[in-house]
Amino acid sequence: MDEKLPAPPVTKTDDEWRALLGDESFHVLRRAGTERAFTGEFWDNHEAGEYVCKGCGELLFTSTTKFDSGCGWPSFYDSVDKSKVVERLDTSHGMRRIEVLCGSCHGHLGHVFPDGSKPTGLRYCINSASLGFRRK
């Protein structure tokens, strides 16, 4: 877990991010916001495909690692590659959690918890507003 992150490879100004993402995705990706449970576009998506960062297009997760955790957000038991996501300690809101960021643009994706599905036992709990989807 890296507490102090180096500058990400993909950078934009806030105005550029806002224009690209729209209000909700900007709030989630650039301000570490959270969408309401059971409201996001992908929490109940069962199509085969790839999930990418909505900010920069980096491939993050695939439908083969997605599972129904019942939490109301898309959940994955693994990322496509550990270099594609960055983890850091999040102590906001009086909690201790592990935040998950896109490895390329450092956009906030969600959090990872140790209560997930086999084979990893992890649950990457990811905001739909931070993701794009490419059907297979």
Q: No. of H helices and E strands in the chain?
A: 2, 9
> What are the tokens at 126?
């990811």
71 is known as an active-site residue: no
Which structure tokens are listed for 29?
Answer: 């990706």
Catalytic residue of the set 53, 56, 105, 125: 125
Do the beta carbons of residue 130 and residue 107 sit within 8 Å? Answer: yes
Catalytic residue ranges = 125
